A and B are shown apart, each in its own frame.
Chain A
Amino acid sequence: MAVFDRQYQPWEGVRTTRAERLLILPRYAYRGLFASRLFTGLFSAAFLPPILGAVYVWLRSNLPMLARIGLTPDKLPVPDGRFFLVGLYVQLCFAAVITLVQGPALVSPDLVNGSLPLYLSRPVSRTQYVLGKFLVLGLLLSAVTWVPLTLLFLLQGALETEPWMAANARILFGTVAASLLAISVLSLFSLALSAWVKSKAFARAVMAGMIFIPTGLGLELNRMLHTDWGHALNLLAVFETIGAELLGVPSRNGGPTGTPDLPLAGALLSIAVVTSGSLLLLNRRLRAFEVVR
């Protein structure tokens, strides 16, 4: 179908594999996303804490520099599980904000503008569509959570004179596993909300409400019922509890913030409820057309 003769020609060439097609939706989504300066600024800001962490790790091992600013290595604690847990918590906060900004815009415009039949009439199943949209967020959140924390871990290991990496392998495993879990839950939750509420702005408001209102409600429940299970309504506390367990350090909740720990069972239950609810909602809402029975 060359422009000059404007004749229809079927495609005779080679087709891409189904695995290659998985990254098409993220690729197209990112072009639109990074056209927004606000989002690019937010995304860039998410790298500041890992950069500060890297500076700290580098400074600890740079004795001449420490001497120049009047410090000794023993005054700067060795980065341990707690150091990475705090890092994980901070990065998950950025991940939550990115999800809040971008998540609701993933599915709702397709539902509002009727573009689902365009996707699903191609060699794309509903599962592949959801996976493609999931990857849009999943890859973004990976870039601000476990990827920089892994690089920080490797930097610390490379600069440490003792065999630090092997002794602290659990930190790496815990950071990556907790990040992947949090990314999966946040992405699924926002996709489900995006499929449920058709307006992007309203979906953002609902998502913010569903993060902050249950958090306050959970604190009130804890106070009234003298329990710690109220934290199960706070997604960030849930991720932190699981992260602490995976990293093998006491949760930060029991430390500086003074709030009591959420039992691990409560955190896992919360994850199970949010994930299954999101999957059910997605299964119900993502249809190529409305069926009138």
Chain B
Amino acid sequence: MNVIELDRLTVKYGRREVLKELSGSFAGRAIGLLGPNGAGKTTLLHTLLGLVPPSGGTARLLGHDVRADGMRARELVGYMPENDAFIAGMSGVRMVALMAELSGLPPAAALERAHEALFFVGLGEARYRKLETYSLGMKQLAKFAQAIAHGPRLLFLDEPTNGLDPPARSRMIQLIQSIARTGKVHVVLSSHLLRDVEECCDEVLVLKDGRIVQSCNLEEERRTNRRLLELEVSGGDGSLLAALRAMGCECAPGRGRRTKVVLADGLQIADVYKLAEEREVAIRHLAFKRDSLEDIFLNAMESR
């Protein structure tokens, strides 16, 4: 089932069009939402959560239309907002339990899961402290706990590493990865930090000026990258390339004396070295042609 389906989704603030006819289906386990500031990432999340009514088109979350069946959709969703968000005067565990109850959990289950969620994110010892006494990193973790306490099927994380120091950021990334790895929840991670998305996501959606300018499956990209080599050899008079072609590889001239090689299925890099040894060819350079997320993002930003 698709996690998110968009069909000509348009959102306007007054006369300003913030999201412009977005269309597409996304089914990744962890979907990264990338884009520069003002691209429309948060507005897209708000629209999917029903906080902003679409001006046109439709959006579906896990098969539920966000306008017609928004309440049902929101029962299945957890949301960690970008900005500071807490209830003053409440302890961490009470706020998380309140939020779980509002999502439909019975009181006893909500309280139990609130304790578990706070232990899970590493706030077990601080769960009885008032939220206003938490540090910024702890508040981020408390927001994360309230987003997962009710056991959602889809988790929206809006800039979850905002304002975190390196150890806290690393801890947050680990939490997101561990949740996505369980396979029991889909994660949508909105960020302008490429590293966060690269470390957590298997699918990426790049927004620019309210439009989707790129969407790709990072896993497939990585798989493709693993098969694309850049090779420079000396000696052998082209016998190595001929042998590679004979084994089903595609070879094309690259920069200078280098050659781009797409490895045939079943062929490993070790086989290339073996062939070179048999033909007494020296490999001067062998590298993966790695199309990083940064390349994907920069290409997307340059397009249109």
Interface string of A118-135 (1 = CB under 8 A from B): 111111110000000000
A114 close to B (CB within 8 Å): yes
Closest to A18 in B: B71
Q: Which of B78-86, B165-173, B221-229, B292-300 contacts A (4 or more CB under 8 A)?
A: B78-86
Q: Indicate if A224 sits at the interface (CB-CB under 8 A).
A: no
The answer to whether A118 and B85 touch across the interface, beta carbons within 8 angstroms, is yes
Interface size class of A (residues with CB under 8 A): 35 or more
Contact indicator A28/B94 (Cβ below 8 Å): yes
Q: Mark the stretch among A8-16, A71-79, A154-162, A166-174 that contacts chain B.
A: A8-16
Asked if B119 and A114 make an inter-chain contact with CB atoms under 8 angstroms apart, the answer reads: no
Q: Are B99 and A118 in contact (CB under 8 A)?
A: yes
Stretch at the interface among A38-46, A82-90, A285-293: A285-293
> Bound state CA distance, A115 and B143, in angstroms?
10
CB distance from B235 to the nearest CB of A (A): 55
With A and B bound together, what is the CA distance between A8 and B94 in angstroms?
20
**Complex-state Cα separation, A16 to B150, whole angstroms:** 12
- Taking a contact as CB atoms under 8 Å apart, the answer to whether A121 and B49 are in contact is yes
Q: Check if B98 is an interface residue, CB within 8 A of chain A.
A: yes
A8 CB contacts on chain B under 8 angstroms: 120, 148, 151, 178-179, 182, 184-185
Interface majority SS (helix, strand, loop, mixed), chain A: loop
Q: Is the CB of B86 within 8 A of A121?
A: no
B295 to A: closest C-beta gap in Å: 32
B87 touches A2 (CB 8 A): no
Q: What is the CA–CA distance of A153 and B181 in the complex, to the nearest angstrom?
A: 64
In the assembled complex, which residues on chain B have CB atoms less than 8 Å from the CB atom of A9?
Answer: 151, 184
Q: Which one, A105-113, A238-246, A253-261, is touching chain B?
A: A105-113
B116 touches A1 (CB 8 A): yes
A21 part of interface (Cβ distance < 8 Å) = yes
Within 8 Å of chain B (Cβ to Cβ): is A3?
yes
Binds A, one of B101-109, B191-199, B202-210, B256-264: B101-109
| B139 nearest in chain A by CB position | A113
Known: A109-B88, A117-B51. A11 touches B113 (CB 8 A): yes
Q: Is B215 an interface residue (CB 8 A)?
A: no
How long is the Cα–Cα vector from A123 to B151 in the complex, in angstroms?
14
Given A2-B116, A9-B184, A10-B152, answer yes or no on A293-B81 (Cβ-Cβ < 8 Å): no
**A16: B residues at CB distance < 8 A:** 101, 104-106
A51 contacts the other chain (CB 8 A): no
A70: Cβ under 8 A from any B Cβ: no
Q: Is residue B60 within 8 Å, beta carbon to beta carbon, of the partner chain? A: no
Contacts of B85 in A (CB 8 A): 113-115, 117-118
- Residue pairs across A and B with Cβ atoms less than 8 A apart, 8 shown, are A8-B182, A28-B98, A113-B132, A118-B79, A120-B50, A123-B71, A123-B74, A288-B46
